[in-house]
Amino acid sequence: MERGLLIDGKAIAAQIRQELKSETDRLIQNGVQPGLAVILVGRDSASETYVRGKVRACAEVGIHSEQIRMPEETSEDELLDQIRKLNRDSSIHGILVQLPLPEHISPNRVISEIDPDKDVDGFHPINAGRLATGLDSFLPCTPHGILQLLKRTGVQVAGKHAVVVGRSNIVGKPVSLLLQRENATVTMCHSRTEHLQAHTRQADILIAAVGKRHVITKDDVKPGAVVIDVGMNRNEQGKLAGDVDFEEVRPLASHITPVPGGVGPMTIAMLLYNTCLAAEASGDQNL
Ligand SMILES: Nc1nc(=O)c2c([nH]1)NC[C@@H]1CN(c3ccc(C(=O)N[C@@H](CCC(=O)O)C(=O)O)cc3)C=[N+]21
Ligand SMILES: [Mg+2]
């Protein structure tokens, strides 16, 4: 049987970072160095790893980055104050508050406090609404990264049936909107979907964004499907596993993303992209 081609997110993300390096050089020559602030509240080892990855990627591309670490006991008001300060800081074009936040802080209140023009995650309700109504907006990084993987791999999206498993605000909902915008026919499935397999087996493009290790197995996939694995599941030892049973599904798939090395690096690349976009827009306003 034909083996599924690997969609190499690590390599495609490296290519995008290289493109963004030129963009950053150009912006710096015009007097604006893109700047990203990453706020991390509390200590969470997975979050620490991701934030390190973001900071390293910024340095590679020439984006100024600031890490703001706040203790676990930080109050919601203190965090909101920090965000307002960054909203006013003209050297910062993008603000990211690393999720999840401690239990006593409302992520919705926090995200809503970020200036929508600095919301490089694309999580602010203004940006979510702009995306849903077809206006220009910051695109959420993981969904945008998935679209870039499909585009740069030459996968045809228009007219195809995409099945999205998962309905989160961060991945499932926005990726379904982006796929529709690219003229796919989209089915959304979730934890309460009956006969899930009957849906996933119809997919020309299957997006697994469930958050459970290896829930998608070979019986869930139509032969020749393109399989995108958004899962980032860590076991007790911290080892990463996707939502897709990669070894089992790969032989059936036409293309498949690995975990790690698939969607994850693209999420960071698109964050850098949004930060450059924000810096560019700020420059326009200052002309
Ligand atoms: N406000 C906010 N924005 C986010 O974008 C955000 C967040 N909060 N909270 C956590 C999730 C998770 N996330 C990842 C980014 C990169 C990788 C990544 O680069 N993964 C590598 C592996 C990294 C490793 O080995 O741990 C890979 O898949 O190859 C993974 C996960 C962004 N998130
Ligand atoms: Mg503004």
pTM of structure: 0.97
Domain containing residue 40: CATH number = 3.40.50.10860
**211 and 183 fall within a common domain:** yes
**258 and 164 fall within a common domain:** yes
Report the domain count for the chain.
Answer: 2
d(CA 236, CA 90): 42
Q: Tell me whether residue 246 is in a domain.
A: yes
Interior/surface letters 16-39, b for 16+ CB within 10 angstroms, e for the rest: bbeebbebbeebeeeebebbbbbb
Is 260 touching ligand 1 by the criterion CB < 6 Å? yes
Contact 23, 274 (CB under 8 A): no
Q: Active site includes 121?
A: yes
- Please list the pLDDT of the chain residue by residue as tens digits (287 residues): 558 999 999 999 999 999 999 999 999 999 999 999 999 999 888 888 889 999 999 999 999 999 999 999 999 999 999 999 999 999 999 999 999 999 999 999 999 999 999 999 999 999 999 999 999 999 999 999 999 999 999 999 999 999 999 999 999 999 999 999 999 999 999 999 999 999 999 999 999 999 999 999 999 999 999 999 999 999 888 899 999 999 999 999 999 999 999 999 999 999 999 999 999 999 665 44
Q: Tell me whether residue 1 is in a domain.
A: no
DSSP annotation string for 7-53:
--HHHHHHHHHHHHHHHHHHHHHTT---EEEEEEES--HHHHHHHHH
User: Which atom of ligand 1 has the smallest separation from the CA of 259?
Assistant: 28
Residue 111 domain boundaries:
32-120
Domain containing residue 205: CATH number = 3.40.50.720
**202 and 257 fall within a common domain:** yes
**41 and 91 fall within a common domain:** yes
Q: Which of 121, 204, 220, 245 is catalytic?
A: 121
d(CA 46, CA 267): 15
Q: Tell me whether residue 268 is in a domain.
A: no
**259 and 176 fall within a common domain:** yes
Q: Binding site for NADP(+): residue ranges?
A: 166-168
Contact 64, 33 (CB under 8 A): yes
Largest CA distance in the chain: 59
Q: Active site includes 160?
A: no
ipTM of the complex: 0.96
Residue 229: strand pairing partners:
208
Q: Binding site: residue ranges?
A: 166-168
- pLDDT, residue 2, reads 55
Quote the ligand 1 centre to 50 CA distance (angstroms). 5
d(CA 227, CA 163): 10
d(CA 227, CA 205): 6
Is 267 touching ligand 1 by the criterion CB < 6 Å? yes
Is 240 touching ligand 1 by the criterion CB < 6 Å? yes
Is 211 touching ligand 1 by the criterion CB < 6 Å? no
Q: At 250, is the secondary structure helix, strand, or coil?
A: coil
In which element (H, E) is residue 230 found?
A: none
The pick from 39, 50, 274 for probing ligand 1's pocket by mutation, whose C-beta has the most ligand atoms within 8 angstroms, reads 50
**104 and 154 fall within a common domain:** no
